[in-house]
Amino acid sequence: MKNTAVLLLSCPDRKGLVARVAGLLYEQGANILHADQHQDHDLGLFFMRVEWSLAGAETGGASQGKAFDLKAFQTAFAPMAAELGMRWQLTSSAARPRVALFCSHYLHCVADLLYRWRAGELDCEIPLILSNHREVGSLATFYGIPVMYTPTTTATRAQTEARQLELLAQHRIDLIVLARYMQILSPEFVGRFPSGIINVHHSFLPAFTGARPYHAAHERGVKLIGATSHYVTEVLDDGPIIEQDVARISHRDQVEDLVARGRDLERMVLSRAVRWHLDRRILCYGNKTVVFD
């Protein structure tokens, strides 16, 4: 398992930012493993991701020197961040995010995420699954994860969300993944998890929003279909986009063919988005994202 820290930051662009951050890390004794940055020249913004080892330096297979003091670095970095107007987050790989999966009766996305989690591709804990349908029960049992059944109607939406929020708080959830959860979350619910809910939409957004995008794509006669993973905001299907992918189709393909091919795209874009979020590779600004390699 990795023993690293990741610093994500954004601020107004100016000369010397990389040198300031790298210099402080050097002074604190950090062994930088990865560093990347991006400038949005139109908005004059700077973005940076730095990952470094928290273990002592390794020489000849043996650990030499004391471990990196993360709290000391945080204390030293805070005044610099304030001076430069930085928005920043500092995390350690030891703090594994706790993820809740929401799903309905389509199970291809939740099945893919659970397989990747069990295979070690997703560095997180998954303490529960919430669903408004019972189809996920046997799959959850196979992976040893409890399922909370929360049926939803228009009349009971407020009570259902209150129960869901109670469960999420009880399990200390950091990230919600909507793995083809076919319910619209209220603005109040979404507001509890800023940049903390990832959805997959079965269309290449911003085209074909709503509940039946494959039908709309077929009626329009498009030659490409796609899928999109994005953070959830109060506006339906309009949050910052994390990942997209497409597949070519033809006039011979019917709606059923689009649905079948689209499910592969949905699995891929959702798993990538979740992995990048867990690896602390995403910065949101405005209604856009920077996704570091």
By annotation, the residues acting in catalysis are 237
Q: What is the 3-state secondary structure (H, E, C) of 196-254?
A: CEEEEECCCCCCCCCCCHHHHHHHHCCCEEEEEEEECCCCCCCCCEEEEEEEECCCCCC
End-to-end CA distance of the chain: 20
Of 8, 11, 27, the C-alpha closest to 72 is: 27
Q: Check if the beta carbon of residue 91 is closer than 8 Å to that of residue 124.
A: no
Q: Are 242 and 230 in contact (CB under 8 A)?
A: yes
Q: Which residues contact 54 (CB under 8 A, 6 or more apart)?
A: 3, 4, 5, 67, 68, 70, 92, 93, 94
Closest CA to 278 of 143, 102, 116, 167: 116
